[in-house]
A and B are shown apart, each in its own frame.
Chain A
Amino acid sequence: MKKIFAIIFVAVSSVFASCDDDLEYDDFDAIENFNFLWKEIDEKYCFFDYKKDSIMRWDLVYDKYVTKIYYDCSNVTEYFDVMAAMLGELKDGHVNLYSSFDVSKYDFADNTPIDFDYNLVMYNDRYLGKDTRSIGGFRYKTLRDGKVGYIRYADFSSSFSYANMYGILSSFEDTEGLIIDVRNNGGGAITNVNKLVSYFIEETTVIGYRVNKTGPGHSDFSSPVAEKVSPVDNEIIYKKPVYVLTNSRCYSATNEFVYAMKGLPRIKILGGKTGGGCGMPFSTELPCGWRVRFSANPCYDKNMQITEFGVDPDIEVHLDEELAYRAKLDNIIETACDYIVKKK
């Protein structure tokens, strides 16, 4: 009995004795904020192991940038730029530093083919132009005399309903195939990815695997868990060939949509390699009030491969800018149409 009371006494006193001093920070100390950012990323960022051949070791990154904090920062803007440059070493489009005056970004599609001309697709009557219908983030139309259905989905944050999809797919009943154009779609909600995939499968399908970080070590991960999608009502499922158009600006949720669709029966990915971004972002903040977002939980495709650096298309086609400029033709859409109407 005495032992029990002693344990309780020690436990209670430890609660009182252990104050929260370890959580007290000097809000505007430059080095303390820098250390804080470095440590948060060190403990929570999920791709250190995967990127060990393509990025600098994180402890060396600290050495490189801490000297810059000491010697190269004379004002808050320069300080922000040094912190942003440090995060840029991760080569991850999901990593951002938010301050009251700027947001840092890593350009994941730098030095890659653009493969998309917005004006050409949106304002050219051959593609979307005037006679276009739009609902729930989709713009859609039939091309090639009604033989090809075309859907432009520019943002996975735009939600849609069953009724929306029923309306769209019903209008494509007489088509020979469908094009889903997700070029320049920078991502959004994963729930919309799963929802959209469910209109193109006929049985419950594993679209990928999820893993979460279980601790501060670079290799602390849980075992993978399959992410399954079940088909919607059988009457509405589109059972003809589908071509998903991609480019290097397809990122995050769009990247997931592409790897979920890749390999499914009747579905081909056409265009350029996607931008990647297969980490689930997580947010935290610094004592100075700036916020940080980074990849914390990796997602794998159905072959247990990480697609952080993108998904390769089944048919690689890049935009012919000369043709686009002179003949107002998007050769990526044209190629997909040709495949559908069997010209190729």
Chain B
Amino acid sequence: MFLICLKMRKFVFVISFIFFFLTTLLAQTSDSASVRLGNRAFGLGFGRERHHVSFLSPLLYYGNTYEFWNETIKCQSVGKRDFYSLVNNRVSMTYMMPTNESTDMSSYYDVFEYHHFYDWKMTPKFHMLCGAYTGFEFGADLLFSNSNNPIYIRADWSLLGLSFRPTLCVRTKRRLIKFSDQLDLRLAGIVFSPTYTQLYYDLTLEEYDKTEFLDFNSLSEKIRFSNKLMIELPLRRTTLRLGMLFERSKSMIHKIDNRTTSVQALVGWSYDYYNIKGRLNRDSRFTTVFE
């Protein structure tokens, strides 16, 4: 019995050694360009928001906003050109009051965006990512002191927007610090909105053409601009991401005036990840997604 166990252990050891050796061989013979890298980041945001939606109130509301955000950026090489896809998701909640502090409004919404960038390598350390994005925002503004119109549904599908993300990588003695600034500008989309003083009750009427709630719009009707400045600082084994998000949107759809200005501080962590193929072919040169 003891001999069988001993032989078994040797067998496992030999198999493990061969497997490890073979993968090393594969890694050495593979083209390092096939290593596929991505970067994930997640964290919290908090700041101030100024919001106005004439459907609920003619006043301007101010308050604190909190959000959970996460972001995944992935490199995709086509020939000698690099492209990046970026998925951004933010879940926000905001509590606001007008200056008279007589009532309060709360907002809950989710923003999901998909960006596609072309990597324009201006210098080895400075990458200008230029591209477009699409995404949606879904949520609601709640003002329960209103009787028949306590809710305004925030539903906006951004069909197309411009997106830029200049990124600068600075290597100090032992650390790599990454600066990036993401600018997004919505060009066109579809917004779900009632008309002026229309109530959502109309949606329950069979005869009502529900598409009247939809409005295809461009810059002239709705403009949304956001700027996210970020810095990534390696901290022991993790990378800290600090940022500042400025967002401004203004729309006049179905004669409902809607304005939002938001400034937030972002704190989070980021890390590079490899797919299985990339992990096997990992090269020490690839310390960050942009380098």
Which of the candidate stretches B8-16, B141-149, B170-178, B272-280 sits at the interface with the other chain? B141-149
How far in angstroms is the closest Cβ of chain A from B97?
10
Q: Which residue of B has the minimal Cβ distance to A16? A: B248
Contact in complex: B198, A27 (CB < 8 Å)? no
Contact in complex: A212, B99 (CB < 8 Å)? no
Which of the candidate stretches B22-30, B38-46, B52-60, B129-137 sits at the interface with the other chain? B52-60
| Interface check A328, CB cutoff 8 A | no
Contact in complex: B185, A8 (CB < 8 Å)? yes
Contact in complex: B185, A23 (CB < 8 Å)? no
A191 to chain B: which residues have CB within 8 Å? Answer: 204
6 closest A-B pairs by CB: A289-B102, A283-B146, A296-B197, A212-B198, A289-B100, A23-B60
CA–CA, A43 and B205, complex, Å? 26
CA–CA, A196 and B94, complex, Å? 39
A82 to chain B: which residues have CB within 8 Å? Answer: none
Which of the candidate stretches A161-169, A221-229, A316-324, A330-338 sits at the interface with the other chain? A221-229
| Interface check A137, CB cutoff 8 A | no
Contact in complex: A7, B102 (CB < 8 Å)? no
| Interface check B217, CB cutoff 8 A | no
Helix, strand, loop or mixed for chain A's interface?
Answer: mixed
CA–CA, A16 and B62, complex, Å? 18
Q: How many residues of B contact A (CB 8 A)?
A: 41
| Interface check B283, CB cutoff 8 A | no
| Interface check B103, CB cutoff 8 A | yes
Contact in complex: B250, A18 (CB < 8 Å)? yes
CA–CA, A25 and B58, complex, Å? 10
Helix, strand, loop or mixed for chain B's interface?
Answer: loop
| Interface check B259, CB cutoff 8 A | yes
Contact in complex: B195, A281 (CB < 8 Å)? no
Contact in complex: B255, A215 (CB < 8 Å)? yes
Residue with the greatest number of chain A CB neighbours at <10 A, chosen from B58, B197, B254? B197
Contact in complex: A36, B103 (CB < 8 Å)? no
Q: Which residue of B has the minimal Cβ distance to A206? A: B207
A210 to chain B: which residues have CB within 8 Å? Answer: 202, 205, 208
Q: Which residue of A has the minimal Cβ distance to B257? A: A23
Contact in complex: A11, B219 (CB < 8 Å)? yes
| Interface check B196, CB cutoff 8 A | yes
How far in angstroms is the closest Cβ of chain A from B148?
5
| Interface check A59, CB cutoff 8 A | no
Contact in complex: A212, B195 (CB < 8 Å)? yes
B244 to chain A: which residues have CB within 8 Å? Answer: none
Q: A293: which of B50, B147, B223 is its contact (CB, 8 Å)?
A: B147
How far in angstroms is the closest Cβ of chain A from B184?
11
CA–CA, A12 and B224, complex, Å? 9
| Interface check A341, CB cutoff 8 A | no
| Interface check B114, CB cutoff 8 A | no
Q: A225: which of B145, B197, B208 is its contact (CB, 8 Å)?
A: B208
How far in angstroms is the closest Cβ of chain A from B106?
16
